[in-house]
Structure 1
Amino acid sequence: MMFACSFHVSTMAVRALIASFACLIAPLALANDGVKTPPFERVQLDNGTVLLLMERHDVPLIQFDARVRGGGRLDPSGRFGVASLLASLLEKGAGERDSLSFAQTVASVGGAIQTDASLEAIVVSGSFLARDRKLMVELLADMLQRPRLEDKELQALRARRIEFIRAAKDSDLSALLSLYGDAALFAGHPYGNPVVGSEASLAQITSADIRKFYEEHVGGDRLIVSVAGDFSAREMKRLLTDAFSKWRKAKASLPEVPAPKPIASRRVLLVDAPDSVQSYFWIGNVGVARSDPRRAPLDIVNTLFGGRFTSMLNSELRIRTGLSYGARSRFDRLHLPGAWQMTSFTRTETTIEAIDLALATLDRLHTEGLDETMLASSQTYVLGQFPLGLETAAQWAAQLSTLELYGLSTSYIDDYAQALNAVQLADTKAVISEVFPKSDEVLLVVLGKADALREGLKKYGPVEEMKLSDPEWSKR
């Protein structure tokens, strides 16, 4: 036992050192016109599983990113959180290993495995030393094809998830804004499903729900496995083919989802948090899909409006007026248009002033747009930030999976810098008009003290109210 413990610490230390070294020397594949995707091999097995293999021999590490198409958008009504709980259960025992044995096996070789779920995929990612590649594939295959899905583990995860939600309602309301915003904006649409679940939906989920979801929505035809790092593509292809080529297909087909419709007029959702001394607000509408060809000008405009510290939104709400410690905007890009949103927070007594200023800043974007100096500044900023997300093997594994998941070619990466440099003021003016909502075409969600806010919020449009203590994210 002493030897095993010593070995584990030593292995972890070596792995950490290697990872740190990788960050220092990782090649950027950066040419004069931006990042270029390093060579990789794509293999599609007979059952539909897609393998993406990128050799990188700078350090003796292997990173993988596996995605099962589907995710939280497929959660059954009233059982939101099933996909997310299933993702967590995948690492709570698989194959011949129970939860403890599985964790000990990963830790004993200094490996790491994480699971997650989004609206459109269940994700399993991890990192192992190159010498442990066979074990890595074995564990991944067990997780996906032979998960134990034990009821006791589900009960523990479900209870912990409910407690996390309740804790956030007590102390971190900002973490809940998007849950309320998406549920209201996409009401009745799968994009409104809360991936993490709600207090009410989580309490209803049973082992039977988990197993049914697994049988119907997890299978070889849904699987993408990306591997990047120090390995032979020929050997890795053989290992993964042997592990996954005979896996069954998911029993259900992926349902077609209609495009969500933007809201046409402003309305308000007020979530009463009677003990809060601050208000948290979310302002948004339907945005664009990940495949939208206007990506470059959209990124430039959004960066300038609310995507960096010196953005228009943060400059007004934090730097100039001191109404908030921060304000930002972003796009959620999915297969179909997700949300565009801007968020901030302020003291209860300055809530209306802060919302007015946020909406006025959005109006100013429409009336004034960008000038040449602003355009050049945003181009430089985005061009400088983009390569930072494509340095390590882990980042490339995740990026390859993302491209495959959304049906995008490597031009999405390779041509991005050129597209940014080509953006003209006319392009920014067009996307502001076409994509960014006007201030009277948004959903406004406010978490705060309803008695102090109700009357002031009425000027923005019809006000619907909920209580923070309600166990759901919307009044479905």
Structure 2
Amino acid sequence: MRGFAVRRAIASAAVAVSLLAPVPASAIHLPPSREVRFQNGTLVILAEKHDVPLIAFHALLRGGGVEDPIGKEGVADLAGELLRKGAGKRSARDIAVLVDGLGATLGTGAGLEASYVYGEFMARDQVVMVDLLADILRRPTFPAEEFDKVKAQSIDAVTAAKDDPRNVIEDYATAFFYEKHPYGRPVDGDEATLQGLSRQDVLDFYHANYGGDRLILSVVGDFSAPTMEAKLRARFADWGKAPSAVPAVPAPARASGRRVLLVDKPDATQTYFWIGNLGVARTDPDRVPLDVANTAYGGRYTSILNTALRIKGGLTYGSRWLAPRHTQPGTVAIYSYTKTETTLKATDLALETLSQVCHEGIDSLTLVSAKTYIQGQFPPRLETEDQISGAFADVAFHGLTREEFEEYPSKVAATRSEDVARVIQRVYPPLGDLTFVFVGNAAKIRAAVKKYGPLKEVKITEPLLSRLRSGARDGRHRGGERG
């Protein structure tokens, strides 16, 4: 038995040493690409990839939900959805039949800061699909009957999403946290704002905010770059500029102090919670060490947060550290859910893990494991034409280059413990500066969650924005970043 214990100790030590060894960087092999800027401002990224006869594209138009007028939230998304419901001489059915008949894919819509069109098709069909893309972006018809259908479907979708709090808690959290900032507007609007939209609102939005100067078009696949450039130039180079300038999104401020939003869902048997503050922007110089910290703390199954709440605590089926990034800082937040009766226990335990990481940092073994995890998960995200096309469009949108991906594994490997400790101190919020959002049975948890700060309560059956825009700030003020 003693010999077995010695061998086990030696084996454990060997594993520890291997984990502390430098993490080798995984190679990222992207196809050669080049950028072309048309005279009207359109940016085209072309990358030939000939291993399979497929072509994928991603088109982004700067703007998106941040351009929704107050009271008309959801109009950007509605306009985006309607792009494929009639364009040029084709009806919605014509477009659907064409795409299905070619075995292609096509999607349209809007995000927080961009409207988009994406698709994938066989290389032999590039002429008809490029023509279709040009019609969708430049000549949408927004038929009245399609507007009515999509609007009704959107209202139904927003209402139905509330059946499962996982679908809506981030909308409530961002609206509550950002308040009047453009990031606080849900891209899909709410029942009241959608109900008030007219077809003319969609037309006005499109004509004001779509134009060649806002377009980023990334195309990857089995084509000749000069030939594809000529096709795109013929269809987009003369597209005029959008009449409206892209809105300058102001930098949001970190919240100081605590406050609580309680969203009452009387039939809930679980409480869903979000606890956070301001994070960082997409181009933050510390984004790589922050990725390592986020992965270790709450970005994988064996993370510190999930180990405490699920694996050891048995209080939830899952918990994560959410960290969306935009052109301006997004949020960082703990997200989880638990039985109604263990709401306080799970919340307090989550706060303990945050306090521990902020005060003690993350140990070397956990960091090396997190870096290895990232390097194993990252390369498969950049393999297909669709993935690469989307990645190229994303970095171009944020003013970055392909080196963002090609150098990422080596930067992860080079991340030091002191880098991670520094970004945690800079970005992770102290326990005294937290915004709490709970979705659950208010009658059963109201008295308990009041301990976390001044409380505002809304009913989940009410339109999200109309209720959150009413009333005072409940004692919260905003300050700068923690030094």
Please give the TM-score of this superposition, normalised by the length of structure 2: 0.91
**Cα distance in 1, alignment partners of residues 340 and 144 from structure 2:** 44
* Residue of structure 2 equivalent to 1:134: 127
For each residue in 1:71-122, what CA deviation from the matched residue of structure 2 results, as whole angstroms up to 9, or x when unmatched? 1011110111111111110010100001111111111111110113111111
Residue equivalent to 2:354: 362
Give, as a single letter, the amino acid of the residue that structure 2 aligns with 1:445: V
The answer to whether the aligner puts 1:209 opposite 2:198 as a matched pair is no
Aligned AA (2:186): P
Equivalent residue number for residue 88 of structure 1:
81
User: In structure 1, which of residues 142, 152, 160 is the aligned counterpart of residue 153 of structure 2?
Assistant: 160
Answering whether residue 271 of structure 2 is matched by residue 271 of structure 1, we say no
Are 1:68 and 2:66 an aligned pair? no
Deviations 1:226-256 (A, max 9, x none): 1000000011000000010111110101122
Q: Does 1:387 align with 2:346?
A: no
Cα distance in 1 for residues equivalent to 2:68 and 2:202: 10
Q: Which residue of 2 is the match for residue 45 of structure 1?
A: 38
Matched, 1:124 2:126: no
SS at match of 2:66: helix
RMSD: 1.1
- Give unpaired runs (5+ residues) of structure 1: 1-30
Counting only pairs closer than 5 Å after superposition, residues 86-235 of structure 1 correspond to structure 2 as: 86-170=79-163, 172-235=164-227
Hey, what's the Cα distance between the residues in 2 that align with 1:33 and 1:378? Answer: 14
Q: What is the DSSP-based 3-state SS (H/G/I as helix, E as strand, rest coil) of the residue aligned with 2:195?
A: helix
Q: 1:439 aligns with which of 431, 438, 445?
A: 431
Whether contact under 8 Å (2:63, 2:247) holds in the other structure is no
Aligned-pair CA distance for 1:33: 5.0
Deviations 1:1-30 (A, max 9, x none): xxxxxxxxxxxxxxxxxxxxxxxxxxxxxx
Q: Following the alignment from structure 2 to structure 1, what is the Cα–Cα distance between the partners of residues 58 and 449?
A: 45
- Cα deviation for residue 460 of structure 1 reads 0.6
Query: How far apart are 1:54 and its partner, in Å?
Result: 0.4
Q: For 1:429 and 1:135, locate their aligned partners in 2 and report how far apart those are by CA, in whole Å.
A: 53
- Structure 2, unaligned runs of 5 or more: 1-23, 470-483
How far residue 331 of structure 1 moved from its aligned partner, in angstroms, is 1.2
Q: How many residues align?
A: 445
| Corresponding residue of 1:22 | none
Q: Which amino acid aligns with 1:285?
A: N
Structure-to-structure mapping, 1:201-350, within 5 angstroms = 201-350=193-342
Moved more, 389-398 or 408-417: 408-417
Contact 2:259 2:452 in 1 (8 A): yes
More moved, 219-228 vs 408-417: 408-417
Tell me the distance in 2 between the aligned counterparts of 1:295 and 1:354.
29
**Given the alignment of the two structures, is residue 427 of structure 1 paired with residue 419 of structure 2, yes or no?**
yes
What TM-score do the two structures reach when normalised by structure 1?
Answer: 0.92
Looking at structure 2, the residues matched to 306 and 439 of structure 1 have their Cα atoms a distance apart, in angstroms, of 17
Please tell me the residue identity of whatever aligns with 2:168.
L
Q: Which residue of 2 aligns with 1:411?
A: 403
Instruction: Return the offset for 1:275.
Output: 1.1
Give the residue type in structure 1 aligned to 2:407: D
User: Is residue 93–residue 99 contact of structure 1 (8 Å, CA) maintained in 2?
Assistant: yes
Which of 413-422 and 123-132 deviates more? 413-422
- C-alpha separation in 2, matches of 1:433 and 1:185: 21
Q: CA 1:275 to 1:133, structure 2 compared with 1: closer, same or farther past 3 Å?
A: same
Check conservation: 2:25, 2:409, Cα contact below 8 A: no
Residues 323 and 333, structure 2, Cα contact 8 Å, conserved in 1: yes
Please report how far the alpha carbon of residue 36 of structure 1 lies from its aligned counterpart in structure 2 after TM superposition: 4.4
